[in-house]
Amino acid sequence: MTNKPTIQDVAKKANVSVATVSRVINEQGGVRKPTEERIKQAIKELRYVRNAVARSMVRKETKTIGVIIPDICNPFFPEIIAGIERKAIGADYSTTLSSSNESKKIESKIIQSFVERGIDGVIITTADENGEHLQPLFDANIPVVAVDRAIKHFDVDTVLTGNREGAYEAVRHLIMQKHEKIAIIRGPQDTTPGLERYKGYCQAMEEYGLPIKEEWICDGDFMEDSGYELTKKLSTCKEMPTAIFSSNNLMSIGAIKALYDMSWVLGKEVSFVGFDDIDIATFTNPPLTVVSRPMRNLGELAFQLLFERMKQDPLVKNQKREFIVTPHLIVRQSCKRSVY
Q: Is 247 one of the binding residues for a second copy (CB under 8 A)?
A: no
- What is the side-by-side strand order in the sheet with 217-219? 217-219, 182-186, 243-246, 271-275, 289-292, 328-330
Q: Is 272 one of the binding residues for a second copy (CB under 8 A)?
A: no
Q: Enter the DSSP assignment of 92.
A: T
One-letter identity of residue 187: G
Which of 47, 238, 268, 317 forms a contact with a second copy (CB under 8 A)? 47
Q: Is 112 one of the binding residues for DNA (CB under 7 A)?
A: no
Segment 81-85 long-range contacts (CB within 8 Å, at least 24 positions apart):
81/299, 82/296, 82/299, 83/295, 83/296, 83/297, 83/298, 83/299, 83/300, 83/301, 83/302, 83/303, 84/123, 84/299, 84/300, 84/302, 84/303, 85/299
Q: Which CB sits closer to DNA, 33 or 238?
A: 33
Choices 13-21, 143-151, 186-194, 305-313 (CB under 7 A): range interacting with DNA: 13-21
Q: Site mask, DNA, residues 18-47, x = CB under 7 A? A: xxx-xx-xx-xxxxx-xx------------
Q: How many residues bind a second copy (CB under 8 A)?
A: 50
Q: Is 339 one of the binding residues for DNA (CB under 7 A)?
A: no
Which of 284, 289, 304, 334 forms a contact with a second copy (CB under 8 A)? 284
Look at residue 61 and give its three-state secondary structure. Answer: coil
Look at residue 147 and give its three-state secondary structure. Answer: strand
d(CA 185, CA 189): 11
Q: Which does 19 bind (CB under 5 to 8 A by kind): a second copy, DNA, none?
A: DNA
- Residue 286's Cβ-count burial label (10 Å; 0-12, 13-18, 19+) is middle
Q: Is 72 one of the binding residues for a second copy (CB under 8 A)?
A: yes
Choices 15-23, 72-80, 175-183, 239-247 (CB under 7 A): range interacting with DNA: 15-23
Q: Is 12 one of the binding residues for DNA (CB under 7 A)?
A: no
Q: Which does 18 bind (CB under 5 to 8 A by kind): a second copy, DNA, none?
A: DNA
Q: How many residues bind DNA (CB under 7 A)?
A: 31
Q: Is 55 one of the binding residues for DNA (CB under 7 A)?
A: yes
Q: Closest separation between CB of residue 68 and DNA, Å?
A: 23
Q: Is 57 one of the binding residues for DNA (CB under 7 A)?
A: yes
Cβ distance 175 to 324 under 8 Å? no
Cβ distance 7 to 42 under 8 Å? no
d(CA 248, CA 225): 12
CA count, 13 A, side-chain hemisphere, 198: 18
Choices 4-12, 89-97, 203-211, 274-282 (CB under 7 A): range interacting with DNA: 4-12
Cβ distance 273 to 214 under 8 Å? no
Interface residues toward DNA, by CB under 7 A? 3-4, 6-8, 15-20, 22-23, 25-26, 28-32, 34-35, 48, 50-51, 54-55, 57-60
Interface residues toward a second copy, by CB under 8 A? 1, 4, 47, 49-54, 56-57, 62, 64, 72-73, 75, 77-79, 81-82, 85, 89, 94-99, 106, 109, 113, 115-118, 136, 139-141, 253, 256-257, 279-280, 282-285, 315
